[in-house]
Amino acid sequence: MSACRICTSDGSTDWTSDNISLGELFGTTESSIRRWREKHAEHGEVIESAWRPLKRWGKPGDWRYSEETSTEVHLDNARIDSLIRDWPFTPLQGFAVDDDLANPADPQIGKAGEAGGGTDETIARFNASIEEVAHRWELLKPKNGYLCDLGDIVENLFSTPQQQSTNDRTLPEQVEDAVAMYMNALGRLLPLVGTLHHATVTSNHGEARSAPKVNPYGSENDWGLSIQRQIKGKCGDRGWPVVFHRPDKNEDTTVLTMTDGTEVALNHGHHSGSPKGMKQWVTGQIVGRRPGWNARVWIHGHYHHDEHFPVGNGVTVFGTPALDGGSAWFTRKTGESSPPGIMCLTMRNGKWLNHSIL
């Protein structure tokens, strides 16, 4: 078997080059370089979602790759580590419930200019809710505690036209703050459960776009997935025994299996088109035997309010409130707003209970 050309390259390779250029150098594809870098992080801290910028050519919707400098995003790991507290860890012994799920959604780190403030206020809200989750788990003593990121973890740059004037973090800073925020949450919760799980999903604000509404690589090109990879590495560095869950390749739904075998499906919810369309969308996933078709509980974010409703025979769909500072445009349009918080529930014997917003 021939040796990998990338692994056997000499020391002259410039690993700060973008993935496409390295692919041309080694005679392979950008995606191969991206996957290789993920396994060999010593060759730089370039996030795997690196792209060549797109330019618009002539007709609307006609976007082509530009030959200009690539727009890779480099993270400041020293800054991330400076934001993570030193958390002591002693494994929990003795459990009262099997599975409890805490489901934060839509913090949109980097979003500012709302009634609830900007990023600093959002992180403070998140931390306060995590402290309430900690109190809950101190009482319930779950065998398995799930911290489920339901998407839109960052605000991003290419979601709305006004973001350049309303964001209070650059995109790298959004990613760094999100990694540190979840690391501190995991450190706080780890001693309170038998096994701590972290789950994530893809989302619209999570798309690693190269232009407004342009995601050149599909579902795998997502900041939520990238952030979880950063979290997984830092948990490994600290010896934290956290179990990680994410959608299967090129899918958007994460499926969790509870202690009794019951399945819980997580999805951001943006593909449903509207809150009223969520029931029909979940029904389509079940009928089409898509990921999560056999789940007894579905949990989604995106619509920024708490709700739950039945689908079919014994399936319940939960919507979750957001943790961001609010959405003034939506409130002006509808008059509606929803208090922020983290939705929690317990799973036992195929049923849900202890539903609360913390």
d(CA 312, CA 286): 10
For 162, other C-beta atoms within 10 Å of its C-beta total 10
Q: Which of 82, 91, 46, 81 is nearest to 231 (CA)?
A: 81
Q: Which residues pair with 265 in a beta bridge?
A: 255, 298
> Cα–chain-centroid distance for residue 182?
10
Supply the pLDDT for residue 96.
87
Report the alpha-carbon angle 291-260-344, nearest 5: 70
Would you kindly state where each structural domain of the chain is located, as residue ranges? Answer: 1-74, 77-357
Which pLDDT score is estimated for 145?
98
pLDDT of the chain, 358 residues: tens digit per residue: 556 767 766 667 776 676 777 777 877 776 677 767 766 654 443 343 333 344 444 444 444 444 443 445 678 888 999 999 989 888 787 888 999 999 999 999 999 988 888 999 999 999 999 999 999 999 999 999 999 999 999 999 877 777 777 899 999 999 999 999 999 999 999 999 999 999 999 998 998 877 777 777 778 889 999 999 999 999 999 999 999 999 999 999 999 999 999 999 999 999 898 888 999 999 999 999 999 999 999 999 988 888 999 999 899 999 999 998 887 656 776 677 778 999 999 999 999 999 999 9
Give DSSP secondary structure letters for 53-75.
PEEE-SSTT-EEE-SS-----B-
3-state secondary structure of 101: strand
Residue 190 contacts by C-beta under 8 Å, 6 or more apart in sequence? 87, 89, 196, 240, 242
pTM of the model: 0.78
- Is the CATH code 3.40.50.880 the one for domain 77-357? no
pLDDT given for residue 60 in this prediction: 44
- Token pair in block for residue 122: 């959002």
